[in-house]
């Protein structure tokens, strides 16, 4: 059978990895796909760098539209990134009847509804395994492997850059800026690394997973997004003393009234497997009603780990390209006419346990005033830690762990506690999840 022809838009970190993996493993890939998969044309603005990778294997052009217009090309792989030109090119490729593979989670989390509708109407596939947790086949697992389940929740370390930063800061005592530079050098970080450190990239990925897990549209604009830039070393240390690790988690959880969709630094019991995921590694825990808890672990960023997912999508499309579109797996697991309108819940309605750190005057009655406020808001305390004040110091840190409660109650209690004269600094509030 004749080779399936691929056009690559963008040959940077992931594009370069994709080129190498396809070339190195071509025999195995042909054996699995039933046809050879060939990169027939590459477009990149940096044509010299692109030619240095591609050699004379195929033509290299600067204009991505030349690739889309090439009638030989069956699959367009978009590895440029961002919401701008990438969106136009993906929609143009679909309009030209090409299947699309993309690693672009930003694009799908924000414009997925439009893109999937266009692909459905045209009868082409849009595959995006590389967009979530890089090389880990989490899209495949959620959409196909766990298809029997009512999925209850997903919680994942889905940004390699921030996990690398948190790990290196904790284990080597390195500072934030140094570790971020190293993550950029290693090719983990986004073109704009604020997407990584402010939690935006993780929220893009959590948004995509929430859609597949619960059959809802992608709704990035409703996600709660907090990164790691406000996280303080003192809280990492106190969490450790209390038996917890702090990780940037992306969480999607089904409740009776809607879906929680949130990214924030989270305390996790130190004995959980996911609490021990270090460096740029990713891990996703999925709770299904039939299967119970499952865990997926691996490299979520970097050239070849991400290329592993891109090439898997190319093989999938190669196998299915001639199938009746009605028999393909729907883009978001549920058929378009079976999507749910379960809303994304506002943060005030989210349920979680909490870690609170209060800088308080070291004087009689402070603890009782604080616990009274918590009790008035029906918030039950799980543990309290009070740091011994240093000699001559008239203030101390008070750390409180709560049981599960509603965020609205915690907000109200915090506002009241913050007003106490013996609370001397802004209260630190982190969320805590048992993940069991
Ligand atoms: N790097 C990773 O580990 C990783 C992992 C998963 C997903 N992703 C996603 O993969 C995509 C690519 O990321 P990357 O790290 O390879 O980025 P990169 O910056 O290394 O590569 C992007 C390439 O696109 C080229 N480009 C830019 N504009 C172009 C245009 N108009 N036409 C043609 N080429 C153009 C650039 O010259 C560059 O070579 C992004 O969506 C990113 O979020 C990256
Ligand atoms: N910047 C992303 C790349 C993988 O999507 C990360 O650090 O996880
Ligand atoms: Na993946």
- pTM over 0.90, yes/no: yes
Q: Is the pLDDT of residue 101 over 80?
A: yes
Q: Is the pLDDT of residue 350 over 90?
A: yes
Mutate to test the pocket of ligand 2, among 131, 193, 196, 284 (most ligand atoms within 8 A of CB): 196
Q: Provide the pLDDT for residue 349.
A: 98
Atom of ligand 2 nearest to the CA of 131: 5
Q: Is the pLDDT of residue 431 over 90?
A: yes
Q: Provide the pLDDT for residue 87.
A: 98
Q: Provide the pLDDT for residue 290.
A: 98
How far, in Å, from the CA of 159 to the mean position of ligand 2? Answer: 5
Nearest to 427 by CA among 416, 414, 436: 414
Dihedral sign computed on CA atoms, order 33, 37, 43, 46: positive
Domains of the chain by residue range:
4-135+303-338, 138-299, 351-432
Q: Residues with Cβ < 8 Å from 418, sequence gap 6 or more?
A: 426, 427
How far, in Å, from the CA of 155 to the mean position of ligand 3? Answer: 15
Nearest to 305 by CA among 287, 279, 329, 327: 279
Atom of ligand 2 nearest to the CA of 163: 7
Dihedral angle of Cα 270, 275, 276, 277, to the nearest 10 degrees: -170
Which percentage of the chain shows pLDDT scores above 90?
Answer: 90
The model's confidence at residue 171, banded by pLDDT at 50, 70 and 90, is: confident
Round to whole Å and give the CA distance between 86 and 67: 13
Atom of ligand 2 nearest to the CA of 183: 7
Q: Provide the pLDDT for residue 391.
A: 76
Q: Is the pLDDT of residue 113 over 80?
A: yes
β-partners of residue 38 are 5
Round to whole Å and give the CA distance between 207 and 215: 11
Is residue 235 a contact partner of residue 166, using CB atoms and an 8 Å limit?
no
Q: Is the pLDDT of residue 45 over 90?
A: yes
Ligand 1 residue neighbourhood (C-beta within 6 Å): 9-15, 43-46, 64, 79-81, 85, 103-104, 130, 134, 187-188, 190-191, 301-302, 306
Mean pLDDT value across residues 175-180 = 89
The model's confidence at residue 272, banded by pLDDT at 50, 70 and 90, is: very high
How far, in Å, from the CA of 86 to the mean position of ligand 1? Answer: 10
* Ligand positioned closest to the Cα atom of 308: 3
Q: Provide the pLDDT for residue 43.
A: 98
Give, in degrees to the nearest 5, the angle at Cα 203 between 201 and 205. Answer: 75
Considering only CA atoms, which residue is closest to atom 8 of ligand 1? 103
Q: Is the pLDDT of residue 18 over 90?
A: yes
Atom of ligand 2 nearest to the CA of 105: 5
How far, in Å, from the CA of 314 to the mean position of ligand 1? Answer: 18
β-partners of residue 296 are 284
Token pair 């004040």: residue: 389
How far, in Å, from the CA of 205 to the mean position of ligand 2? Answer: 10
Is residue 11 a contact partner of residue 50, using CB atoms and an 8 Å limit?
yes
Q: Is the pLDDT of residue 27 over 80?
A: yes
CATH of 351-432, one of 3.40.190.10, 3.30.365.10, 3.30.70.260, 3.40.50.300: 3.30.70.260
Q: Provide the pLDDT for residue 377.
A: 98
Is residue 348 a contact partner of residue 342, using CB atoms and an 8 Å limit?
no
How far, in Å, from the CA of 224 to the mean position of ligand 1? Answer: 26
Is residue 59 a contact partner of residue 6, using CB atoms and an 8 Å limit?
no
Q: Which two tokens stand for residue 392?
A: 């001559």
Q: Which two tokens stand for residue 378?
A: 């029906």
Atom of ligand 1 nearest to the CA of 50: 39
* Ligand positioned closest to the Cα atom of 13: 1
Nearest to 299 by CA among 285, 282, 284, 312: 282
* Ligand positioned closest to the Cα atom of 189: 2
Active-site residue flag, 2: no
DSSP characters for 57-110? Answer: SS-EES-HHHHHH-TT--EEEE-S-SSSHHHHHHHHHHHTT-EEEE--HHHHHH
CATH class label, 138-299 = alpha beta
Token pair 């990134």: residue: 81
| Mean pLDDT for the chain overall | 96
Round to whole Å and give the CA distance between 186 and 299: 13
Atom of ligand 2 nearest to the CA of 103: 5
Q: Which two tokens stand for residue 397?
A: 């840190």
**pLDDT tens-digit readout, 64-96:** 999 999 999 999 999 999 999 999 999 999 999
Give the ipTM of the model, two decimals please.
0.99
Residues, CB-to-ion distance under 5 Å, ligand 3: 129, 132-133, 136, 138, 309
* Ligand positioned closest to the Cα atom of 14: 1
Token pair 């590459």: residue: 42
> Rounded to a whole number, what is the largest CA-CA distance in the chain?
83
* Ligand positioned closest to the Cα atom of 136: 3
Q: Provide the pLDDT for residue 127.
A: 98
Considering only CA atoms, which residue is closest to atom 14 of ligand 1? 13
Round to whole Å and give the CA distance between 104 and 263: 19
How far, in Å, from the CA of 210 to the mean position of ligand 3? Answer: 14
Mean pLDDT value across residues 23-52 = 97
**Topology given in CATH for the domain delimited by 4-135+303-338:** Rossmann fold (3.40.50)
How far, in Å, from the CA of 25 to the mean position of ligand 3? Answer: 19
Helices 105-122 & 200-214 angle (0-180, nearest 10):
40
The model's confidence at residue 233, banded by pLDDT at 50, 70 and 90, is: confident
Q: Is the pLDDT of residue 287 over 90?
A: yes
Nearest to 8 by CA among 96, 100, 115: 100
Q: Is the pLDDT of residue 411 over 80?
A: yes
Q: Provide the pLDDT for residue 326.
A: 85
Candidate list 5, 98, 105, 205, residue with the active-site label = 205
Q: Provide the pLDDT for residue 321.
A: 86
Considering only CA atoms, which residue is closest to atom 4 of ligand 2? 301
Q: Provide the pLDDT for residue 324.
A: 87
For residue 344, the SS3 value is: strand
Residues in the chain: 436
Token pair 């030989």: residue: 72
| Element at 315 (helix H, strand E) | helix 303-320
Nearest to 146 by CA among 293, 300, 319, 305: 293
Mean pLDDT value across residues 167-178 = 87
Ligand 2 residue neighbourhood (C-beta within 6 Å): 134, 159-161, 188-190, 196, 201, 300-301
């Amino acid at each position: 059978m004749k080779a399936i022809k691929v056009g690559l838009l963008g040959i940077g970190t992931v594009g370069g990895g994709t080129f190498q993996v396809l070339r190195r493993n071509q025999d195995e890939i042909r054996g699995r796909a039933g046809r050879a998969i060939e990169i027939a044309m590459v477009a990149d603005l940096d044509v010299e760098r692109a030619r240095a990778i591609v050699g004379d294997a195929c033509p290299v052009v600067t204009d991505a539209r030349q690739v889309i217009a090439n009638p030989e090309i069956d699959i367009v792989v978009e590895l440029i990134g961002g919401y701008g030109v990438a969106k136009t090119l993906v929609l143009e490729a679909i309009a030209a009847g090409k299947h699309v593979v993309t690693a672009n989670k930003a694009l799908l989390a924000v414009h997925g509804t439009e893109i999937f509708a266009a692909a459905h109407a045209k009868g082409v596939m849009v595959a995006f395994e590389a967009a979530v947790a890089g090389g880990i086949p989490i899209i495949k697992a959620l959409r196909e492997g766990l298809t029997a389940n009512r999925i209850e929740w997903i919680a994942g370390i889905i940004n390699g850059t921030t996990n690398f930063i948190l790990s290196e800061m904790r284990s080597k005592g390195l500072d934030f800026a140094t570790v971020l530079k190293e993550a950029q050098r290693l090719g983990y970080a986004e073109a704009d690394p604020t997407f990584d450190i402010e939690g935006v990239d993780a929220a893009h990925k959590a948004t995509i997973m929430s859609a597949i897990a619960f059959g809802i549209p992608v709704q990035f604009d409703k996600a709660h997004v907090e990164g790691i830039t406000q996280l303080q070393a003192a809280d990492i240390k106190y969490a450790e003393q209390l038996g917890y690790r702090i990780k940037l988690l992306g969480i999607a959880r089904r409740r009776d009234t809607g879906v929680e969709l949130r990214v924030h630094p989270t305390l996790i019991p130190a004995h959980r497997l996911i609490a021990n995921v270090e460096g740029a590694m990713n891990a996703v825990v999925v709770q299904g009603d039939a299967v119970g808890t499952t865990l997926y672990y691996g490299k979520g960023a970097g050239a070849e780990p991400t290329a592993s997912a891109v090439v898997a999508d190319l093989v999938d499309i190669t196998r299915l390209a001639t199938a009746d579109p009605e028999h393909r797996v729907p883009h978001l697991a549920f058929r378009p006419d079976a999507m749910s309108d379960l809303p994304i819940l506002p943060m005030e309605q989210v349920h979680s346990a909490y870690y609170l750190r209060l800088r308080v005057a070291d004087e009689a009655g402070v603890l009782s005033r604080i616990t009274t406020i918590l009790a008035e808001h029906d918030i039950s305390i799980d543990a309290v830690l009070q740091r011994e004040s240093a000699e001559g110091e008239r203030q101390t840190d008070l750390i409180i762990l709560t049981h599960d409660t509603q965020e609205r109650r915690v907000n109200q209690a915090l506002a009241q506690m913050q007003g106490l004269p013996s609370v001397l600094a802004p209260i630190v509030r982190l969320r805590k999840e048992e993940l069991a």
